[in-house]
């Protein structure tokens, strides 16, 4: 008896399948109004509106919510190659305040993909392109696949 062959797809199709699999179970990102706008291997772009329940006492978007958008973008980017990947560390620099009514766009990609530890930079901007925050995340790939039996065509 032989094992069934693995299904191989182009890298872009694998990234899209992985994004759908993650999105289906990502209640937190969806509850915050995030939208997955683009996915490619080792790249993602998500957006999120700044709602009234997201502003702090200074009338700015709460920094933790900006971090959450960047972190979700990081998660989609680093899980786009069908390796279960988890965050090992992350940091953020807040550069400008986001305001009620803004639409935040976070986008980023891998800066280093050697081995099982990877580094991703995520930029968060508002709808006018003003840079709001810079996020750097370090991830660790596990041995398991996000979608078992699916491989990237080489």
User: pLDDT tens across 27-43, in order?
Assistant: 999 999 999 999 999 99
Average pLDDT, the chain: 95
User: How do strand 7-9 and strand 150-152 relate by DSSP bridges?
Assistant: parallel
Tell me the CATH number at 39. 3.10.129.10
For the chain, give the percent of residues with pLDDT over 90.
92
Residue 5 banded pLDDT, cuts 50, 70, 90: low
Asked if the structure places residue 66 within a domain, the reply is: yes
pLDDT (mean) for 79-95: 97
DSSP 8-state assignment for residue 59: S
pLDDT at position 44, please? 98
Asked if the structure places residue 2 within a domain, the reply is: no
Domains: count for the chain? 1
Asked if the structure places residue 45 within a domain, the reply is: yes
pLDDT at 3 over 60: no
pLDDT at position 114, please? 86
28 Ramachandran zone, left/alpha/beta (phi>0; psi -120 to 50): alpha
pLDDT at position 55, please? 98
Asked if the structure places residue 153 within a domain, the reply is: no
pLDDT at 81 over 60: yes
Q: How many helices and strands in the chain, by DSSP H and E?
A: 3, 8
What domain range includes position 41? 7-148
pLDDT at 126 over 60: yes
């Amino acid at each position: 008896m032989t094992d069934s062959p693995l299904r191989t797809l182009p890298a872009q199709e694998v990234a899209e399948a992985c994004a759908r699999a993650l999105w289906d179970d990502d209640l937190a990102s969806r509850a915050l109004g995030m939208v997955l706008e683009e996915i490619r291997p080792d790249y993602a772009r998500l957006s999120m509106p700044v709602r009234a329940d997201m502003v702090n006492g200074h009338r700015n978007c709460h920094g933790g919510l900006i971090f959450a958008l960047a972190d979700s973008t990081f998660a989609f980017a680093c899980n786009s190659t069908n390796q279960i990947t988890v965050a090992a560390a992350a940091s953020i620099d807040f550069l400008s305040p986001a305001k009620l009514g803004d639409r935040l766009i976070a986008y980023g990609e891998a800066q280093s993909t050697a081995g099982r530890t990877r580094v991703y930079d995520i930029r968060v901007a508002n709808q006018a392109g003003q840079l709001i925050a810079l996020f750097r995340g370090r991830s660790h790939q596990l041995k398991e696949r996000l979608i078992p039996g699916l491989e990237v065509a080489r």
